[in-house]
Amino acid sequence: MFATDDAIVAIATPQGRGGIGVVRVSGASALSIAASILESDGPLQPRHATFTRLRAGTRTVLDEVVATFFQAPHSYTGQDVVEISAHGSPVVLNDLVHRALDAGARLAEPGEFTFRAYLNGKRDLVQAEAVADLIDAATPLQARVAFDQLEGTLTRRIGEIDADLFDLTARLEASLDFPDEGYHFIDPEETANRISAVIKAFDRLLVDASRGRMIREGATVVISGRTNVGKSSIFNALSGTCRAIVTDIHGTTRDLVTETIDIGGLAVTLVDTAGSRETADIVEREGVVRAARARQVAALVLIVLDGSDPFVYDDDRTLLAETAGQLRLVVFNKCDLECPQSGTFVDVPSGHRVDSDELVRVSAKTLDGIDRLRHSVVQALSGGELLRDTASMSNTRHIRLVEFARGHLVAAHAAVASGAAPEEFVLTDLQSARSRLDEIVGVRTTEDVLRHIFERFCIGK
């Protein structure tokens, strides 16, 4: 996949101008490469920041820099690493990189520093993936989940489960050495009970994962309703910016307007849509079609009704009926005005109805109720779970592997319960389950999977 015995170099800070930029070099020759770049009276000392200058040489760009040497294995990659902090001009940083290339380094591939950390045992695969998640975090809660995984919370939980499976596997393997004794080292009832306990541990992980995946990936929330009920005003109130045009003219919004915001720690992509109505305007009609498509793929739909109008219009009823099977909130807007809609539900055709726990009353004009709406959005998306405590598992790859491992254990439990299956069948399923756990932390992982994981990293990490 990558060569791992040569020196690599890359800019480790974001592209653009800044007060400071960092160039990172990793490999056995990192120290000698740094010596060829920097003016110094002697070699860099491990874990000491050294103030120095760039050598003049054939390069015209000069700068004062701070160089820090991390000696193997006490570094991010487990190799010798030199990090050079210079002024954050792209000209200076690119010159530094070219100096390192001239001295024998090569340009690092995306994720190659973290890949070397994985190969050298500084990070397991879960922790390596958490590095990318922490870099990509858009909300404090996403950052907390990623950091917890970087600290090894999921690795420890997987390790505890694997330890139970290892002990059970060892006992079954031992019993195979004494075929005349059958389940000599562990009886069928204990085997079934211990497999059931591990299945329950997987179930707890998977329940936890639904919340973790929501935190990690975020959710799309679509605002729908007929024209002039205040959809765009609610969009602006939730996003805290005047992104959507608001007028008294019907059909002002004709396309999807989106904004990604932080609501209670969730990265929510908020979508304002065209008002739902029959129209002869070809452009507006296309907007209505796009609004319907957006509702179909939304994690949550906000149906906005005019809370100051006692009449429930056909367009309102149609939307309520169409979304009855979806996760939704019904928002009575304009409640700064007199609110005739004070009941706990709205009847709609085909026996559908809106229950009181789906209703939220707001005024987009005065912002009354907007905080309640934010809270309701988080509660709806998280299934009523509090998001104060972070989830152990949030990565789709991990979730799928746990599901596969659980399936193997269900098959093993059924084999034991039947009383007719030999130990070999049970043992095969247990070993398959353990293999899935090994894939999560990277003990057994194909090169294609590794490439897919590390290619999503930025260069320099």
Q: What is the pLDDT of residue 108?
A: 93
Give the three-class secondary structure for 25: strand
Q: Which domains does the chain have, with CATH numbers?
A: 8-123 (3.30.1360.120), 134-214+395-441 (1.20.120.430), 225-381 (3.40.50.300)
Please provide the size of the chain in residues. Answer: 461
Residue 180, Cβ density class (10 Å: 0-12 exposed, 13-18 middle, ≥19 buried) = exposed
Give the three-class secondary structure for 219: strand
Q: What is the pLDDT of residue 10?
A: 95
CB 328 within 8 A of CB 301: yes
Q: How many CB atoms lie within 10 A of CB 318?
A: 15
Q: What is the pLDDT of residue 356?
A: 60
Our measurement of the distance from residue 450's CA atom to the centroid of its chain's CA atoms, rounded to an integer in Å, reads 18
Q: What is the pLDDT of residue 38?
A: 92
> What is the distance between the alpha carbons of residues 367 and 436, in angstroms, rounded to a whole number?
50
Output the tens digit of pLDDT for each of the chain's 461 residues: 566 789 999 999 988 888 999 999 999 999 999 999 998 878 899 999 999 999 887 677 788 999 999 999 999 999 999 999 999 999 999 999 999 999 999 999 999 999 999 999 999 999 999 998 998 888 888 888 889 889 888 899 999 999 999 888 888 877 776 655 544 666 788 888 999 999 999 998 888 887 788 888 888 999 998 888 888 889 888 888 776 666 656 655 667 888 888 888 888 999 988 877 677 677 777 877 888 888 888 999 999 988 777 666 778 888 888 888 889 999 988 887 765 554 444 444 444 555 566 788 888 888 898 999 999 998 888 876 655 555 678 888 999 999 999 999 999 999 888 876 777 888 899 999 999 999 998 887 767 777 777 777 777 77
* Region label for 57, one of left (φ > 0), alpha (ψ between -120 and 50) or beta (otherwise): left
> What is the distance between the alpha carbons of residues 283 and 252, in angstroms, rounded to a whole number?
11
Q: Which residue has the tokens 């520093």?
A: 113
Q: What is the pLDDT of residue 251?
A: 55
- Measure Cα distances from 151 to 12, 77, 460 in Å: 21, 16, 21
- Measure Cα distances from 238 to 123, 302, 367 in Å: 39, 12, 9
Q: What is the pLDDT of residue 89?
A: 93
| pTM for this prediction | 0.76
Structure tokens at 215: 């935190």
Structure tokens at 428: 């095969």
Give the three-class secondary structure for 182: coil
> What is the distance between the alpha carbons of residues 287 and 254, in angstroms, rounded to a whole number?
5
